[in-house]
Structure 1
Amino acid sequence: MQVTETLNEGLKRGYTITVPAADLDAKVEAKLLEAQPEVEIKGFRKGKVPMAILRKQFGQRLMGDAMQDAIDGAMNEHFEKSGDRPALQPKIEMKGGDTWKEGDDLVVDMSYEKLPEIPEADLSGITLERLVVKADEAAVTEALENLAKAGQTFEDRKKGSKAKDGDQVVIDFKGSVDGVEFEGGAGEDYPLVLGSGSFIPGFEEQLVGAKAGEDVSVTVTFPENYGAAHLAGKEAVFACTVKEVKAPKAAEIDDELAKKFGAESLEALKAQVSERLEAEYSGASRAVLKRSLLDQLDALVKFDLPPSLVEAEAGQIAHQLWHEENPNVHDHNHGAIEPTEEHNKLAERRVRLGLLLAEIGRKAEVQVTDAELTQAVLAQARQYPGQERQFFEFIQKNPQAQQQLRAPIFEDKVVDHIVAGAKVTDKEVSKDDLTKAVDALDEM
């Protein structure tokens, strides 16, 4: 086997790999000899089939296997000797692919971008400030009031009262387009909270001011992106009968409310709420601290970046932001989205930090355990109620999906490793100050 360098430009590498025909034939011969004792063909006893017949019957398929083995072996040997780590899967092109015949040498071109050498990062100068927020009584009270609102009930308003925003109206309704009723457009005794946004835009507003016993004609236009294509963009009229008008009544903040949310008493619920709030504050504080750390790491070292990784990351950023700006588009049936200069700069930062964190983690021997990966899979599976088993099977069979779950865990563990050795000072701040710091992350 011969490997000849054809390209050495920045991080780009190119090689021509030549495997002599005799080496390929020897591999085929070895595979035939290995299989011969188990082969049984009509007219011959098991293990006694002549090599010539074996070659005629199985040689072509085994030649394909031998070629793949030769290419894989050459690549592995090359990367072991050179120390190169390809940024993406190397591109392999076989020369004379259509005209190649048995007896010819196997010649392939291999090209890739290597990962750069990451310079040593001096982490000794990293200083971080951790924002600390305590769950004070006011915050706990506010959270309890929100729970009471979530657990609210509705009571009949005085006869003749007009429905207000936030009230619940119990209605019968029938919808029609161009005078023809449509499937799924009718309901009886439907409890609708006005202002909840659970119906088509414009529907609930037209019921404000209605009284029990009144008939109301509601005219709305279905959104252009409505799920039922035959209704999208169409004007519809709903004949509604208001049967009841009810006012909201927040639940009392007492032991009964606590029991509704799984706590033994109000004091126990307060303790749970306080713990949850501080966990939320801690998570937000960590996000602020992590951004500060990444900013410092970004300024520590500079190195060449594989263009393919930057291009792929910029494309992903552009695509994600486009969908955030166009939330009504849920599929990918749209035109090409060209990354901007801003997308490219952000992609360079992400790739550089990703490679740097990976190198720091490698040197520190940071590992993601099976237990940690399992926890991540369990958390993700909860998003697919009723399909948990299918999700587990998909993850088990899909190494790429496993890596997508493993990567953020690894990154967080590397961040923890760096923070553990950094100079960190705690600063007690208010909830509002923490909120401002988190909001500022989105503006950067």
Structure 2
Amino acid sequence: MQDTETQSNGLKREHAMTVPAADLAAKMNEKLEAARETVQLKGFRKGKTPLPLLKKMFGKSLMGEVVQEAVDAAVRAHFEKTGDRPAIQPDIRITNENFDEGDDLNLSLTYEVLPEIPETDFSVIKLERLVVEVEDSAVDEALANLAENVKDFAPREEGEAAQNGDQVVIDFVGKLDGEPFEGGAAEDYPLVLGSGAFIPGFEEQIVGAKAGDEIEVKVAFPENYGAENLAGKDAVFEVKVKEVRAPQAAAIDDELAKKFGVEDLETLKSQLRERLGEEFKGAARALLKRKLLDALDEMVKFDLPPTLVEQEAQQIAHQLWHEEHPEVQGHDHPEIEVTDEHRKLAERRVRLGLLLAELGRRNEIEVTEQELNQAIFNQARQYPGQEKAFFDFVRQNPQALQQIRAPLFEDKVVDYVLELTQIEDKTVTKDELQKALEALEQD
């Protein structure tokens, strides 16, 4: 096979390659010989069919396989010989205008190589790690939030009007054109005003009502309502308010703890303190990781594959556009312009991605099967009752598996680099940590 470099510009490479017709013919004969062992034609014993006859019958259909295998082998041999590592999928084209059997196969191979990434002394990087001690006030705040989440409702004073957030106990009958409709009535129904449990406009008309009031609530069912006989129809609900209850946070005591599956308040506090500690550590690590990546982005410079940057910029632009237009699904939207800001962000992502990947390769950092399985199990917990189905899906889906493996690999490489840097711990309050996080999000 002939292999001639026709372009070398920055990271871009282009080669012209030729696979001799004789090599193609030899590969074709190999396939025909293999086919002869299994094909039996009338008038010939099995395995004795003449090759010219087999070629006449199957040559055209086999030629596609021969060419594809020849192309694959040529490209594989090229990268083994050059040692180049392509940054993206190479562009491979057959350049023969009218390729036919007996012709040499001419190929054009175009790609961008991964850049040479310089060795870096990470020991010169100085970072600050925030450390937060879990104070009693943070535990008390967490307890208060738990109590609010399991709030009870207590009857309001006689004559007090219902407010948004109150629970009202009601009887109601819904009617279309003066006639009750199926499923439109209930007794002693506990409705929290503002919860959105009923169709739009219903709950708002109960606000201000008092126990004993009888109200006529007029609403319009949405056009896309699930029941076709009600969709888009105007309805009237005859509502009787039987009781108005105000929300009250649950008492912070042993009974509250039992609602969360622990035996007493002290145990609940201990669990909250531990959980908050882990949350603070996780937030502090996110900040530390961001500071490290910022430092690496400034320190380590090398050429970036233009196509890789452009693809990343397009993906960023597309993602940000959809975040600004959440109502639009899929790709049915105007063409999204890629700006210089998108490209700047893309350059950072590509640079850091290539750097971390190379550091992992050089230092033989890998995600173990145990680590990968544990991460899959952790995500599977989000789907109670379907954990095994989720696990099996991920293990059988290479793309889903890579989406879980990639952040694990990145974190292991980051941990490796952090071990080589100078880190100074700084004790801060929870509020100071929160401000640092907010500043990070705005950056």
TM-score using structure 2 length? 0.88
* Structure-2 separation of matches of 1:210 and 1:435: 41
Deviation, 1:400, is 2.9
* Structure-2 separation of matches of 1:102 and 1:287: 60
On the 8 A contact 2:129/2:284 being kept in 1, the answer is yes
Question: Could you say if the C-alpha distance between residues 82 and 53 of structure 1 is closer, same or farther in structure 2, counting changes exceeding 3 Å?
Answer: same
**Quick one: which amino acid aligns to residue 161 of structure 1?**
E
Aligned to 1:92, the other structure's residue is in SS state strand
On the 8 A contact 2:175/2:184 being kept in 1, the answer is no
* Structure-2 separation of matches of 1:234 and 1:315: 41
1:179-237 per-residue CA deviation (whole Å, 9 max, x = no partner) reads: 799x9995645533223455666654443212234314255896x9x898x99x98966
Aligned to 1:267, the other structure's residue is in SS state helix
Aligned residue for 2:56?
Answer: 56
**Quick one: which amino acid aligns to residue 63 of structure 1?**
M
Deviation, 1:383, is 4.4
Aligned residue for 1:293?
Answer: 292
* Structure-1 separation of matches of 2:220 and 2:293: 49
TM-score using structure 1 length? 0.88
Aligned to 2:209, the other structure's residue is in SS state coil
Which deviates more, 277-286 or 210-219?
210-219
Deviation, 1:89, is 0.8
On the 8 A contact 1:174/1:185 being kept in 2, the answer is no
Q: Find out whether 1:254 has 2:260 as its counterpart.
A: no
Which deviates more, 123-132 or 392-401?
392-401
Deviation, 1:42, is 4.6
Aligned to 1:163, the other structure's residue is in SS state coil
On the 8 A contact 1:323/1:329 being kept in 2, the answer is yes
Aligned to 1:272, the other structure's residue is in SS state helix
Aligned residue for 1:341?
Answer: 340
Aligned residue for 2:321?
Answer: 322
1:30-53 per-residue CA deviation (whole Å, 9 max, x = no partner) reads: 123234333344544433333233
Aligned to 1:421, the other structure's residue is in SS state coil
Aligned residue for 1:422?
Answer: 421
On the 8 A contact 1:176/1:185 being kept in 2, the answer is no
Q: Find out whether 1:47 has 2:35 as its counterpart.
A: no
* Structure-2 separation of matches of 1:351 and 1:340: 16
* Structure-2 separation of matches of 1:184 and 1:137: 54
1:369-428 per-residue CA deviation (whole Å, 9 max, x = no partner) reads: 112222233333444556555544543443233222211111110011111121111111
Question: Could you say if the C-alpha distance between residues 192 and 319 of structure 1 is closer, same or farther in structure 2, counting changes exceeding 3 Å?
Answer: farther
Query: Aligned match of 2:237 in 209, 214, 239?
Result: 239
Q: Find out whether 1:90 has 2:90 as its counterpart.
A: yes
Aligned to 2:24, the other structure's residue is in SS state helix
Q: Find out whether 1:74 has 2:88 as its counterpart.
A: no
Deviation, 1:66, is 1.8
* Structure-2 separation of matches of 1:273 and 1:316: 40
* Structure-2 separation of matches of 1:75 and 1:101: 21
Question: Could you say if the C-alpha distance between residues 244 and 423 of structure 1 is closer, same or farther in structure 2, counting changes exceeding 3 Å?
Answer: same
Aligned residue for 2:126?
Answer: 127
Question: Could you say if the C-alpha distance between residues 219 and 24 of structure 1 is closer, same or farther in structure 2, counting changes exceeding 3 Å?
Answer: same
Aligned to 2:18, the other structure's residue is in SS state strand
On the 8 A contact 2:174/2:185 being kept in 1, the answer is no
Question: Could you say if the C-alpha distance between residues 291 and 198 of structure 1 is closer, same or farther in structure 2, counting changes exceeding 3 Å?
Answer: farther
Q: Which runs of 5+ in 2 are unaligned?
A: none
* Structure-2 separation of matches of 1:246 and 1:295: 53
Which deviates more, 331-340 or 270-279?
331-340
Which deviates more, 368-377 or 155-164?
155-164
Aligned residue for 1:408?
Answer: 407
Which deviates more, 290-299 or 387-396?
387-396
Deviation, 1:175, is 7.8
Which structure 2 residues correspond to residues 2-401 of structure 1 after superposition, within 5 A?
A: 2-96=2-96, 99-171=98-170, 186=184, 188=186, 190-196=189-195, 204-213=203-212, 214-217=214-217, 239=237, 241=239, 242-384=241-383, 388=387, 391-401=390-400
On the 8 A contact 2:200/2:219 being kept in 1, the answer is no
**Quick one: which amino acid aligns to residue 250 of structure 1?**
A
Which deviates more, 2-11 or 371-380?
371-380
Which deviates more, 184-193 or 83-92?
184-193
**Quick one: which amino acid aligns to residue 23 of structure 1?**
D
Q: Which runs of 5+ in 1 are unaligned?
A: none
Which deviates more, 330-339 or 152-161?
152-161
* Structure-1 separation of matches of 2:62 and 2:173: 69
Question: Could you say if the C-alpha distance between residues 118 and 174 of structure 1 is closer, same or farther in structure 2, counting changes exceeding 3 Å?
Answer: farther
* Structure-1 separation of matches of 2:430 and 2:388: 40
Aligned to 1:38, the other structure's residue is in SS state coil
Question: Could you say if the C-alpha distance between residues 238 and 146 of structure 1 is closer, same or farther in structure 2, counting changes exceeding 3 Å?
Answer: farther
**Quick one: which amino acid aligns to residue 16 of structure 2?**
T
Question: Could you say if the C-alpha distance between residues 184 and 146 of structure 1 is closer, same or farther in structure 2, counting changes exceeding 3 Å?
Answer: farther
On the 8 A contact 1:207/1:216 being kept in 2, the answer is no
On the 8 A contact 2:293/2:352 being kept in 1, the answer is yes
* Structure-2 separation of matches of 1:323 and 1:435: 28
Root-mean-square deviation over aligned CA pairs: 3.2
Aligned to 2:3, the other structure's residue is in SS state strand
* Structure-1 separation of matches of 2:41 and 2:398: 39
